[in-house]
Copies of this chain bind each other. A is one copy, B any other.
Amino acid sequence: MRNIKITIEYDGKEFNGWQKQLNRLNIQGEIEKAIQTITGEKIELIGSGRTDAGVHAFAQVANFKINSNFPIEKMATAINSQLKQSIRIKKAEEVSENFHSRYHCHKKTYMYIIDNSEQGTAIYRNLTYHISQPLNIENMQKAVKYIIGEHDFSSFKSSGTSSKSSIRIIYDAKVLKEQERVIIIITGNGILYNMVRIIAGTLVDVGLNNIEPEEMEKIIKSKDRQKAGKTLPPQGLFLKSVEYEN
């Protein structure tokens, strides 16, 4: 069977998350239906991981097995012709039969965008989270460094997570200021449920000078969700890229 890898952009606002579920619009289900329409085959789409309702993706990765000899170079355009504009297949590639978008995922990068203007933004209101009080960027930049490395991130995961281990490696983590935006970018070998949104919420506490940057280390070590900040809302969160080893 052929194994097809697709790279997908989507506007999370329009869906109840990635995962297939009955009677609720979801990204996985919409793409599976579109592929069935163009190839006539019922396929199972394997995503690199789920994203929650409201979370966006610039480049989610998924794969599916298929018998159809539909030409690969026409596949992205054909699938898109069956989808709403709020999902776009950016690329479709033929990969080796053993490629698995979840098991073989090597690194994931997420981005959280805060609009830090006084009055908020009309144009990007569904693509940012608004905080009107000025954030102390320098302190946020100090604090975010503590999450780099291998840690047990129990303090930054929502209860009800199915993952067995809470240990993850964070390769890079930074806070950037671009005009009125504060952008948090985190790259890791895996991300726990709600982890980026809780880290972002904790960094906001630092930015508002409610806690010192050095607190971040203690919060990690406590392994206590209660010590960390609140879970920020989904509309500021973007899955930026998913990387695989060649």
Contacts and interface: CB of A to CB of B under 8 A. Distances in A.
A86 interface: yes
Interface residues of A, number: 24
Copies assembled: 2
A197 interface: no
A119 B76 CA distance: 7
Contacts of A205: none
A120 B85 contact: yes
Nearest to A123: B11
A125 B86 contact: yes
A71 to B, nearest CB: 15
Interface stretch (A87-95, A167-175, A217-225): A87-95
Contact of A56 (B10, B58, B123): B123
Interface string A159-181: 00000000000000000000000
Given A85-B120, A119-B90, A125 B76 contact: no
A121 interface: yes
A87 B125 CA distance: 10
Contacts of A11: 122-123, 125
8 contacts: A9-B122, A11-B123, A11-B125, A88-B119, A88-B121, A89-B119, A90-B118, A91-B119
